[in-house]
Amino acid sequence: IGDCDCDRWLEIWNLVFMQYNRDEAGVMTPLPRPSIDTGMGLERLTSILQGVASNFDTDLFLPIIAQIETLTGQKYDPGEKGFPFRVIADHSRACTFLIADGVLPSNDGRGYVLRRILRRAVRFGKLLGIDQPFLYKNVDVVCSLMQEAYPYLGERRDFVAQVIRMEEERFFVTLNEGLKKVEEILQQSRQRGENIIDGEAAFMLYDTFGFPLDLTEDVASENNFTVDTVGFNRMMEEQRNRARQANQGETAFVQDRLLAELLASVPDVEFTGYDSLQEESTIVALVQNEARVAQVTGGEVMLVSASTPFYAESGGQVSDSGVIQGPNGVMEVRSVHKTADWIIHLGVVDGSFQEGQSVQLKVENGLRLDTARNHTATHLLHRALRQVLGDHAQQKGSLVEPDRLRFDFSHLSPVSEEELEDIELRVNQAIWNNYQVATAVTGIDEARKMGAIALFGEKYDDQVRIVQVGDFSMELCGGTHISSTGQIGLFKILSEGSVGAGLRRIEAVT
């Protein structure tokens, strides 16, 4: 802005006239619908109305900065030297809102964004001479400033402070050693006449010492170094691929890619299993020995039909099993998987099948019913957990099988015996109330307005399915359920334990 690339000017409002699309080659083509995008900084307007130089000089930030002055014993400098104060103030507020909204520190997704912000603030505190957890002490100030507009901040301030303190304590264990390692890396690079931290070293700092990339970049910049972000990102992607393959198995990882190629010409499969456990349909694809075939005789087979009542493994719920009956053979369906929009039956054929044949698909009713009981029970458990422990107790994973259920949720400490008894009683009370279980399909925005709980970080289509259990629970869910909670019978918690930092697991049966 203006005649310098500096902080001399403050942009408070802008208009972006979007008229062209520029491709990778730099060629610009007119957009089918030109538009004007406008952006306005509310806090920047506040600074103008209050007659001060920046957002950080307004009454939205000065109380937080005053708290940092108390913690450090240093006076805030509104100039360049005050940059660490401004980072800590901004990040304190961001962390408070994120945690109050249900985000917990983790190594992926929103949780990793939170961890990066929090650890960056801790490192700037270190620059100001703070060698122990301090960021959590800013939570009270942030909540006091903002709770009039966001009342839930006041209700959750203790929990937010607890989360931040635990994350700070965890990071301080490795921070000092990590900073020493950074200094070693910088010194070695200087001796080689280089001023770059290579991708391998940056990844080691992340993997061993918990240094997010942007924290390493901050340290590098202060020493007139840069970071090989391309190399870092390459190593991160390699680690993600290893994790994906370990989680789903090397065979499954390769198989999904292979099936996408083999079934490219096959139409999407219609799932009919909410309404019926039997279906007459037509075979549209057969796969055997990793090849698309027109006919099979015996052996292990993947079969795709135009429609199916078989539920494919998804959302933590195991797949249906059953049989597919054709004019010249029968297939025992042992598992069902979904790749893109194809529902693929895996099983063993006795006799023969061929593409284009009409077949009868029959889901095993008993196993479906047992699985549905346990799936509805997980919804009751989720609600009871939030009632007893707080809204931060959000689902992070589940396994729903015919004979048991497993539920992972966010919580910082072990659940006490008294709390477990209360949770179990609430679930059983919901069962005894014999709530009706209703489903409906609606728009995602409408579902959220209705109060339906969505899994944090999950991607949803524009149209979503709501599962409502009386006035007790309402969640977005594509799984199968019973028609009333009385069908569950009884609910019993078998165990509760930790499966990671801030992550607990309950195993139960019905």
Q: List phi, psi (to 5°) of 248.
A: -105, -5
Position 71 confidence tier, pLDDT thresholds 50, 70, 90: very high
Confidence check: pLDDT of 142 > 90: yes
Q: For residues 117 and 155, what is the distance between their CA atoms, to the nearest angstrom? A: 23
Using alpha carbons only, give the angle 438, 450, 487 rounded to the nearest 5 degrees: 20
Phi, psi of 325 (to 5 degrees): -105, 125
Tell me how far apart the alpha carbons of residues 62 and 117 are, in angstroms, rounded to a whole number.
Answer: 20
Report the C-alpha dihedral over residues 119, 120, 125, 130, rounded to 10 degrees: 30
Q: Could you tell me if 218 and 129 lie in one domain?
A: yes
Per the structure, the count of domains in the chain is 3
Q: Are residues 345 and 372 in the same domain?
A: no
Is the pLDDT at 97 greater than 50? The verdict is yes
Q: Is residue 255 situated within a structural domain?
A: no
What single letter denotes the amino acid at residue 384? A
Please determine, for residue 245, whether its predicted confidence score (pLDDT) is greater than 70.
no
- 13 lies in some domain: no
Same domain as 175, residue 135: yes
Residue 206 lies in a domain: yes
Task: Provide φ and ψ at 267, rounded to 5°.
Answer: -65, 160
Regarding whether 156 and 94 lie in a shared domain, the answer is yes
| Residue 487 CB contacts under 8 Å (≥ 6 apart), including other chains | 369, 373
- Against a cut of 0.75, is the pTM above it? no
Q: What is the pLDDT of residues 290-347, one digit of tens each?
A: 888 999 999 999 999 999 999 999 989 999 999 999 999 999 999 999 888 889 999 9
Residues 399-441: tens digit of each pLDDT = 999 999 999 998 888 999 999 999 999 999 999 999 999 999 9
Q: 49 with 170, same domain?
A: yes
pLDDT over 50 (residue 146): yes
- Domain hosting residue 87, numbered range: 43-243
Residues 460 and 376 in one domain: yes
Q: Are residues 231 and 314 in the same domain?
A: no
Q: Which of these three, 363, 392, 416, is where a domain ends?
A: 363
Has residue 417 been placed in a domain? yes
Tell me if 249 is assigned to some domain. no
Structure-token pair, residue 240: 């993600």
For 160-217, the pLDDT digits (tens) are 999 999 999 988 888 888 888 988 999 998 989 989 999 899 998 888 888 888 888 9
Question: pLDDT digit string (tens) for 246-286?
Answer: 555 444 444 667 777 778 888 889 999 999 999 999 999 99
Pick the more confident residue, 486 or 12. 486
Tokens at 352, concatenated: 């023969």
Mean pLDDT for all residues in the chain: 90
Query: What pLDDT score was predicted for residue 456?
Result: 58
Backbone φ, ψ for residue 383 (5° rounding): -65, -45
Lowest-confidence region among 2-11, 37-46, 366-375: 2-11
CA nearest to 215, candidates 280, 127, 294, 156: 127
Residues 216 and 319 placed together within one structural domain of the fold: no
Residue 53 lies in a domain: yes
**Same domain, yes or no, for 335 and 203?**
no
Of 329, 363, 397, which residue constitutes the final position of a domain?
A: 363
User: Cα torsion at 152, 72, 89, 112 (round to 10°)?
Assistant: -80
Residue 319, in any domain of the structure:
yes
Rounded Cα distance between 413 and 393, Å, is: 11
Domain-ending residue, one of 305, 340, 363: 363
Examine residue 477 and state whether it is found in any structural domain, yes or no.
Answer: yes
* pLDDT score for 244: 61
Q: Go through the chain and tell me how many residues it has.
A: 510
In order of 300, 318, 339, 403, the CA distances from 334 in angstroms are 10, 11, 17, 16
Is residue 96 domain-shared with residue 174, that is, in the same domain?
yes
Same domain, 312 and 457: no
Considering the domain architecture, whether residues 290 and 315 belong to the same structural domain is answered as: yes
Output the DSSP codes for 2-70: TTSSSSS----EEEEEEEEEE-TT--EEEEEEEEEEEEE-HHHHHHHHTT-SSGGGSTTTHHHHHHHHH
- The CATH number of residue 289's host domain is 2.40.30.130
